[in-house]
Amino acid sequence: MTEQGRPSGSATLPVDVDLMVEAGNWPEEASLLRLVEAAVGAAFAEIGAQGHSELSVVFSDDAHIRTLNAGWRGKDKPTNVLSFPAFAYAKAGPLPPMLGDIVLAAETVAREAALEDKPLDNHISHLVIHGLLHLLGHDHETDAEAEEMEAIERAALARLAIPDPYA
């Protein structure tokens, strides 16, 4: 297990990123940090932000995310990404001191990328943006919410030259 306990140091991001590789077969930690910072930067460029915050991103495996999914959502199965907000956030309001945690599952993420014939890095970037938007008060429970959230994801991914994952 490796942990990047220091802030990312990126002066352009409105968050300090705390990255942890907990389990699973992931790219090297430095590559993951670059992907996360680029994805977070693209998402914030789309939605804007006031203030400064902290964000934790955990790269784990299906076994751990299955336990989290069962405990928090009552779904006893792995999923690709889960978000755990530290504080409630009102869209367009000032950032809380800590946004929360985003947790990704290695096997599910790799399987989805292979099934959808897309580069793993692109899928990781998409899921980080998706998880971050959940921490920022976005959801996809209704069609209108899903359309709004997906539009932000598409625009943020376009900033990274990543094709539309919903096409």
Q: Note the pLDDT tens digit of each residue in 102-131.
A: 999 999 999 999 999 999 999 999 999 999
- Report how far apart, in Å, the C-alpha atoms of 61 and of each of 28, 53, 58, 104 are: 15, 26, 10, 7
- Rounded-to-integer distance, Cα 86 and Cα 108, Å: 25
Of 105, 118, 86, nearest in space to 22 by CA: 105
pLDDT of residue 91: 75
Name residue 143's amino acid. D
Least confident of 32-36, 52-56, 91-95, 128-132: 91-95
**What is the residue-averaged pLDDT of the chain?**
90
Domain architecture of the chain: domains with CATH: 2-159 (3.40.390.30)
- The pLDDT value given to residue 20: 97
pLDDT at 160: 97
Contact 95, 14 (CB under 8 A): yes
The residue with greater pLDDT, 36 or 138, is 36
Q: Read off the pLDDT of each residue in 41-64 and give the average, rounded to a whole number.
A: 93
Instruction: Please tell me which residue, 153 or 48, carries the higher pLDDT value.
Output: 153
pLDDT given for residue 89 in this prediction: 83
Q: Write down the pTM of the prediction.
A: 0.90
Q: Token match 């993951």: residue?
A: 32
| Top-confidence range, 2-6, 7-11, 83-87, 139-143 | 83-87
| CA distance to 7, 29, 49, 135, 155, per residue, from 90 (Å) | 24, 32, 11, 10, 21
Q: Residues 70-84: what's their mean pLDDT? A: 93
Task: Supply the pLDDT for residue 13.
Answer: 87
